[in-house]
Amino acid sequence: MAKLINGKEVSSAVKKKVGDEVLLLKQKGIIPGLAVVLVGDDPASRIYVNNKKKACEQVGIYSVEYTLPAATTQNELINLIEKLNCDSKINGILVQLPLPAHIDEKAVIEAISPLKDVDAFNAVNVGRIMQGDYRFLPCTPAGIMELLDYENIDVAGKNCVIIGRSNIVGKPMAMLMLHRDATVTVCHSKTKNLAEICSRADILVAAVGKPRFVTADMVKDGAVVIDVGINRDKDGKLCGDVAFDEVEPKVSYITPVPGGVGPMTIAVLMKNTITAAKLQNN
């Protein structure tokens, strides 16, 4: 029977450390600030934004939300970002994705100052991650590394397989594992023999966005399984990318959905905001 990797427990530990650092910064007259920009009224995005605001309150970070109508133009959004780039009270800028179809996400991400890009999506920060010389790490992959570290799971020399090659999870996850001396395989929709490749993984990260996609035959006995997916099954029940009930008995560690990777993403966002505040105040 697998040990559940408890994201709520680990995220609480990360947020406790962040809260302590916030107090130290405030003693020096520095109040870390995060601006969250939401365009449109996507219900999932609204939940994420509310959770981020709540986390800011918990750790003592000043937060401000900009809620813009779905009809907001790209220029209007970029003008707001440029204003926030110049605002000394704001250390981190987060534009909630996805954006409405008429707005170019890439152009918006590139408009955010690399020093305030707490999602680490800007090309400058992505390049620094490639080189291993980073200021910030993307929140979900960094959160996964925190989970592995908390459980003392060493990735060095391990065969790590990542299903999914998104800029948000798959690609940066591969880089972080490479920096820790793992042997990494990134699988995607064009991968042949996917089940066979996955079944050789010591650590399997599923970030494909398909409910219960990873089944028991795709997983090696004793593997570590990290489930990044947040989906609804045909009955409307929340589930991950992994068929938990059939995979869990085979593996050594597994993250549940909910309560696994999800809480870590927000905890690392808080950590990145503190890093940004320190960088901007030398």
The residues that are catalytic are 52, 96, 119
* Residue 92 token pair: 């981190």
What does 142-203 look like in DSSP terms, one character per residue? Answer: HHHHHHHHHTT---TT-EEEEE---TTTHHHHHHHHHHTT-EEEEE-TT-SSHHHHHTT-SE
* Cβ-proximal residues to 218 (8 Å cutoff; 6+ apart), any chain: 194, 195, 198, 199, 204
Q: Beta strand 231-232 with 238-239: parallel, antiparallel or unpaired?
A: antiparallel
Amino acid at 18: V
Please return the burial class of 103, using the count of CB atoms within 10 Å of its CB with bins 0-12, 13-18 and 19+.
Answer: buried
Burial class from Cβ neighbours inside 10 Å (0-12, 13-18, 19+) for residue 258 reads middle
Decide: 52 and 266 in contact? Cβ < 8 Å. yes
